[in-house]
Every structure is written in C-alpha cells, then in structure tokens.
C-alpha cells in the first residue's frame, strides 16, 4: 500500500486507480485546480468521474472547495492535519488576475469577524485578488 493509498484509506475512500491519479495530480500542483484542469491533464478522463471524485474527496475532507471569484469552483488538497470537515481550516486564498492561478495561503488565517445580532456564521471565505509573487516583476 503506497502513501497515497494509505491517505485515501484513512479517510474512508476506496483507493481506486483513478482516485490515486487525481490525488497525485493535485499533490503535484501548488495551485488550486478546476475540474476542467484535471480533465485536460488526463486524456482518458471522464468528466463525470472527476466531478464525483472531487465531491467524494470534499465530503471526506481530502480536498476543500475554493470560490475565488471566477465563478469556477477550484479544489485544493487539505493540509496534512487540517480536519476541515469538522472544524474548517480558515486560511485565506489568493487569486492572481494575471496568471489566473489560485493558491492557498495556509499560513494566513482569517481573523475573527463579528456579525450583526441574529446572524450565525458557519463558514468563512476570504479571497484576495491581485498579483501573485510569480507574476510580480519586483
């Protein structure tokens, strides 16, 4: 059993060939990926399978979904000990308007926000748009 298989197994996800490929693909990238990104990465990929795989991954806390303002859902692997299905990992995300890449800034936590009376917060999504360090010509 490889490391990836163990990871999936730990999260109660059957480590099928396709799932392992998807996991490895996401692990190889340092940016969040869209469903279409994965689809384009594998010639033999079936969109529905990828779609449902991502859903499963998300439900089991393997990936988290990111809404970066492009109206296209992005996904990124959760950090080793993030447990975002229980107590969500409130880091912020950055979307670069130049290279169109979205990254997790896991070190940068979202500060506590207070809401008006009667509002109950369940999740927080903070996205900053701008120029990333790769596109920034210093």
Partner DNA sequence: CCATTAAATGCACTTCTGTTGCACCATCTA
Partner DNA sequence: TAGATGGTGCAACAGAAGTGCATTTAATGG
Binding site for its own copies (CB under 8 A): 67, 69, 71-73, 92, 94, 97, 105, 107-108, 110-111, 113-133, 136, 138
Candidate ranges 67-75, 87-95, 102-110, 117-125; the one touching DNA (CB under 7 A): 67-75
56 vs 108, beta carbon nearer Mn ion: 108
Contact string 88-107 vs Zn ion (x = CB under 5 A): --------x-xx--------
Whether the CB-CB separation of 109 and 91 falls below 8 Å is answered with yes
**Three-state DSSP state, 24:** helix
Q: What are phi and psi of 25, to 5 degrees?
A: -60, -45
> How far is the C-alpha of 129 from the C-alpha of 18, rounded, in Å?
33
* Distance in angstroms (rounded) separating the CA atoms of residues 39 and 99: 19
Work out which of 4, 35, 41, 84 binds DNA, going by CB under 7 A. Answer: 35
Give the interface with Mn ion as residue ranges (CB under 5 A). Answer: 76, 104
């Amino acid at each position: 059993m490889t490391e990836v298989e163990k990871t999936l197994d730990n999260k109660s996800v059957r480590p099928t060939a396709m799932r392992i490929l998807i996991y490895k693909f996401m692990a190889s990238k340092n940016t969040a990926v869209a469903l279409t990104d994965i689809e384009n990465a594998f010639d033999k990929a079936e969109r529905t399978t990828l779609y449902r795989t991502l859903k499963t991954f998300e439900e089991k806390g393997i990936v988290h979904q990111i809404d970066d303002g492009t109206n296209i859902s992005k996904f990124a692997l959760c950090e080793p000990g993030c447990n975002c299905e229980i107590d969500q990992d409130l880091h912020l995300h950055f979307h670069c308007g130049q290279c169109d890449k979205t990254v997790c800034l896991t070190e940068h936590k979202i500060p506590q926000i207070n809401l008006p009376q009667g509002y109950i917060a369940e999740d927080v999504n903070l996205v900053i748009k701008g120029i990333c360090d790769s596109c920034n010509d210093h």
